[in-house]
Structure 1
Amino acid sequence: MFFRGLLLRAVTAATDARRPVALALACAVSALVFALVHVVDAGSPTALWVVGAGTFVFGLAAASVTAVTGRLGGAMVAHIVFNGLVVVPALLR
Structure 2
Amino acid sequence: DRLMQRKSAVDEENARLKNEFRNLNQKFKDKSQELKDTEECAQKKEEQSRLVVKNLEEENKGLNICCADLLSGLEKLRKQEAQWKKEKSGNDARI
Greater relative contact order: 1 or 2 (C-alpha under 8 angstroms, separation 6 or more)?
A: 1
Fold similarity call, TM over 0.5: no
* TM, length-normalised to structure 1: 0.28
More helix by share: 2
* TM, length-normalised to structure 2: 0.28
